[in-house]
Structure 1
Amino acid sequence: MDGRSVEGACERVKACKLILVSVMPLFFLSGCLGKAELEQQAYVVALGLDKTEDKLVKVTFQIANPQVGSSSKVAAPNEPPSDIVTFTAPDILSAKELANSVVPRKLNFGHLRTIIIGEELAKAKWIHHILASSIVDPEMRRETNIVVSKEKASEFIKKNKPKMETRPHKYYAFMQQRWRDTGYVPYANLNRYFQRLSGELFLAIYATTEKNENVRKNEDDYKAGQVPQQSGDPVQMIGSAVFKDGRMIGTLTGEETRISLFLRRKALGHTFIESFPDPINDKYRITVRMTKPGHTKVKVNTKKSPPEINVSMPIRIQVFSNPSLTNYSTNIENQKRLKQSIKARMEKQTMKLIKRTQDEFKSEPFLWYLEARRKFWTMPEYENYDWEKKYTDAKVEVNYDVMIESFGETLKPAAIKKQDKD
């Protein structure tokens, strides 16, 4: 065989290899066995869980109507924004399968962002088994928010009809952003729930449609259902449900929830608006904006018995409202009194909450266990130390480093001159 024949054979071999390499991926990437058309999917945007007898669970699916809120709404102007169906089954996945005996489309959890748990079920010991078994489904994301409703979850979902949002998934998405802005409720999802199952307290969002209004001077000292409200959406979300070892054991108010978030070394919310009693004239309250410019400093001394915890928190204050018209902007003594009053009140309320967690909950939601765990070389050493038990007797000192940054745009509040009586 001459050189030209050998060279031609080599070229043909290279061409065959190139074709083979190009064709092989098609056998793995061109399969359509698992394809799913959009028209065949039913997207669940909210999931409700309620307690029943015999360890069964009542699962409520809120399925979005894709035609509402889109350009195709003209074709179906009278259709509801979602369909709500409830099934009783051993767990979430079996209820999902059972739902397809009624729902013509295949249920999909790809857009699920909110799980509502009825308070009765949240306090049951086997609620963790239900949540843990649902993670087997790859569509169940760990970023899904956990909301505990005072009433049954099925009733909560049916009564939740926001006036400004026709699409239910948008309502929960916008509310999640408001939760971060106000700090009235914690940022709670499945991932954080599973992280805190070893005695640490997990805070879930507390909500209800039932009203038990009670007017209070402190605007954040409410739980869901207690906020004085006239008209508007029926749902109130404020405060948190306290979980320990996977089940609910109590509740916190909006104020206690804010303090809990502040006491964590790193917090998602750094700016809150709150009011405090006027130290000069206690008939009025001063509204301020609180900012947290840095991380909370937490020092845990595990060598002493009981352990010592020192917490230092920087707080910056901007005065927004001063109804009493007291001169704080130019009067140094008044400034000192205001600063000391805010500092004393915050430290008092904080110590009150810490004492409650030690006596009632027997654990802490401030993530201080992470600081204590760093004091040990191995996990067995930390587990033998038993931080949960040691915390109940720990000596805690809290210091708020308060600094007033501004008193508004005016140099001095204008007072109303007294008029002569006619």
Structure 2
Amino acid sequence: MKKLIKFIVASSLLFLSGCWDHSELTEYLFVQSLAIDQNKDGTIRLTTQFYKPAPKIGSAGSGGGESFFNLETEAKTVFEAIRDVTIHTGRKANWGHVRFIVISERIAKQHSVGEVLDFFYRDHEPRLLTGVGITKGTAADFLNEKPHVENTVSEQLNETTKTGSKFSAKTYPANLFTLGKQLHNEVDTAYAPFLKKEEEKVNSIYVDGLTVLQNGKIKTILSNKESKSLLFTLNEFQFGIIEVECNGQRPEETFEVTEAYTKTSLSIKGEEIHYTIEPKIQASIGELECTNLETAPQLEKLNERIENQINSNITKLLKKSQKKNLDVIGLGNKIYKSEPQFWAEIQKEKVPYFKKTVFHVKANVNVINTGTDISKPFHQK
């Protein structure tokens, strides 16, 4: 019986297909990150950063050196420039492990980001969680920088944009998934972090606000302060610092947002659109400069000051956007979901709905932690 079972198992192996169409690892180069720029003649210039294959044990030069290298290719299209990697390296690029894609401000102003990234949405290798950012100046320069903490600059860019949003609320952490989803919403408003380098300094990459895209192209660039206000309106604010001036003058007092939730409501009265934004915030004191908190009324007054500051910041962003008739908060998506017939009329008659919208901003702040039992600024005796 045992011999019969062994014979059956052995015979079944003859019908297994095996790895007839497999590819060896030595046929690939694995991509870390990519920079997309445009030449003066309109052609695409790609700078691709690859993981450098480890040398064989005992081979010459096996101790040390960079773990990556950059390769530049040029072509009329992104896909053609990608495939040209093979004529330089003898290996095919694999996109299954790419961490970050940087696109220059110049190309993002002239071309839709969706058009530039079309290959990455169609090919089966790229992951939709790959980070995306827009750069001030040449994108390729950002891949030549050395990371501070991470092993690669691509990992630093990925972590900087995510943590910069989570803990400071100064940008929006875009990736292929969020960007693709936003580019196909009703108002076609999308967000991507704006990356800069400090002049005359090495390894000086930082996030400086975010770009607002419409129809895939850069429409405006928001500052760090404006980014905070935008995240409040989108209910995307997690943690960050609110600065409040003392009697309209500097120095400022700072408060850390420890919890935030924004409730929004839409109402249409005739042809007039009303949109209410109500951020509910819990905060702790970071720095006091001109406030005493010896009594409950003083604490209530402090809460009111912070509320007024947040209301003012959000209102300034909305008014600035209304002047440009730029639906920076995606209000049209809300109208489409709740009032589809009204939205169809807006689209048909091309009504500047955002410019005419009446906004109501009502922040509610509760300071729950003073950080110490001292009820006045620490420097005061």
What's the TM-score, normalizing by structure 1? 0.78
> Which amino acid in 1 is paired with 2:251?
Y
> Which amino acid in 2 is paired with 1:308?
H
Q: Distance in 2 between matches of 1:125 and 1:356?
A: 25
Q: Is the 8 A contact 1:163 1:232 kept in 2?
A: no
Q: Which of 297, 303, 321 is equivalent to 1:357?
A: 321
Q: Which of 197, 201, 212 is equivalent to 2:189?
A: 201
Q: Distance in 2 between matches of 1:182 and 1:73?
A: 47
**Paired position in structure 2 for 1:110:** 96
**Residue 121 of structure 1: CA displacement?**
0.5
Number of equivalent positions? 372
Question: 1:148 aligned to 2:116?
Answer: no
Report the secondary structure of 2:101's partner residue: strand
**Paired position in structure 2 for 1:291:** 258
Question: 1:412 aligned to 2:375?
Answer: yes
**Residue 366 of structure 1: CA displacement?**
2.5
Q: Distance in 2 between matches of 1:50 and 1:410?
A: 55
TM-align CA RMSD: 3.3
Q: Distance in 2 between matches of 1:186 and 1:25?
A: 53
**Residue 90 of structure 1: CA displacement?**
2.1
> Which amino acid in 2 is paired with 1:79?
G
Kindly tell me: are residues 232 and 384 of structure 1, through their superposed partners in 2, closer, same or farther at Cα, counting changes over 3 Å? same
Kindly tell me: are residues 327 and 24 of structure 1, through their superposed partners in 2, closer, same or farther at Cα, counting changes over 3 Å? farther
Kindly tell me: are residues 327 and 157 of structure 1, through their superposed partners in 2, closer, same or farther at Cα, counting changes over 3 Å? same
Kindly tell me: are residues 165 and 397 of structure 1, through their superposed partners in 2, closer, same or farther at Cα, counting changes over 3 Å? same
| Structure-to-structure mapping, 1:249-398, within 5 angstroms | 249-265=219-235, 267=236, 269-279=237-247, 282-294=249-261, 296-324=262-290, 326-328=291-293, 330-360=294-324, 362-376=325-339, 382-386=343-347, 389-398=352-361
> Which amino acid in 2 is paired with 1:170?
E
Q: Distance in 1 between matches of 2:152 and 2:346?
A: 50
Listed as ranges, the gaps of 5+ residues in structure 1 are 1-14, 213-230, 418-422
**Paired position in structure 2 for 1:175:** 160
**Paired position in structure 2 for 1:96:** 82
**Residue 411 of structure 1: CA displacement?**
4.0
**Residue 143 of structure 1: CA displacement?**
1.9
Q: Distance in 2 between matches of 1:73 and 1:327?
A: 69
User: Which is higher, the Rg of structure 1 or of structure 2?
Assistant: 1
Structure with bigger strand share is: 2
Kindly tell me: are residues 101 and 184 of structure 1, through their superposed partners in 2, closer, same or farther at Cα, counting changes over 3 Å? same
Q: Which of 208, 218, 233 is equivalent to 1:248?
A: 218
Q: Distance in 2 between matches of 1:274 and 1:81?
A: 40
**Residue 415 of structure 1: CA displacement?**
5.8
> Which amino acid in 1 is paired with 2:148?
K
**Residue 164 of structure 1: CA displacement?**
3.0
**Paired position in structure 2 for 1:46:** 33
Q: Is the 8 A contact 1:264 1:368 kept in 2?
A: no
Kindly tell me: are residues 121 and 25 of structure 1, through their superposed partners in 2, closer, same or farther at Cα, counting changes over 3 Å? farther
Q: Distance in 1 between matches of 2:71 and 2:221?
A: 29
**Paired position in structure 2 for 1:215:** none
Kindly tell me: are residues 206 and 377 of structure 1, through their superposed partners in 2, closer, same or farther at Cα, counting changes over 3 Å? closer
Kindly tell me: are residues 42 and 400 of structure 1, through their superposed partners in 2, closer, same or farther at Cα, counting changes over 3 Å? same
Q: Deviations over 1:207-234 (max 9, x none)?
A: 121449xxxxxxxxxxxxxxxxxx7731
Q: Which of 56, 65, 68 is equivalent to 1:82?
A: 68
Kindly tell me: are residues 193 and 164 of structure 1, through their superposed partners in 2, closer, same or farther at Cα, counting changes over 3 Å? closer
**Residue 327 of structure 1: CA displacement?**
2.1
**Residue 318 of structure 1: CA displacement?**
0.9
**Paired position in structure 1 for 2:171:** 185
Kindly tell me: are residues 67 and 308 of structure 1, through their superposed partners in 2, closer, same or farther at Cα, counting changes over 3 Å? same
**Paired position in structure 1 for 2:150:** 165
Report the secondary structure of 1:47's partner residue: strand
Q: Deviations over 1:108-160 (max 9, x none)?
A: 111112111111101013543221244222112222221111111112222x2
> Which amino acid in 1 is paired with 2:206?
Q
Kindly tell me: are residues 43 and 327 of structure 1, through their superposed partners in 2, closer, same or farther at Cα, counting changes over 3 Å? same
Kindly tell me: are residues 321 and 264 of structure 1, through their superposed partners in 2, closer, same or farther at Cα, counting changes over 3 Å? same
Q: Is the 8 A contact 2:196 2:208 kept in 1?
A: no
**Residue 97 of structure 1: CA displacement?**
1.0
Q: Distance in 2 between matches of 1:309 and 1:333?
A: 31
Q: Deviations over 1:277-310 (max 9, x none)?
A: 234x94432221113343x221112353221111
Kindly tell me: are residues 166 and 291 of structure 1, through their superposed partners in 2, closer, same or farther at Cα, counting changes over 3 Å? closer
> Which amino acid in 2 is paired with 1:287?
T
Q: Is the 8 A contact 2:105 2:134 kept in 1?
A: yes
**Paired position in structure 2 for 1:136:** 122
Report the secondary structure of 1:307's partner residue: strand
Instruction: State the identity %.
Output: 18
Kindly tell me: are residues 292 and 305 of structure 1, through their superposed partners in 2, closer, same or farther at Cα, counting changes over 3 Å? farther
What's the TM-score, normalizing by structure 2? 0.86
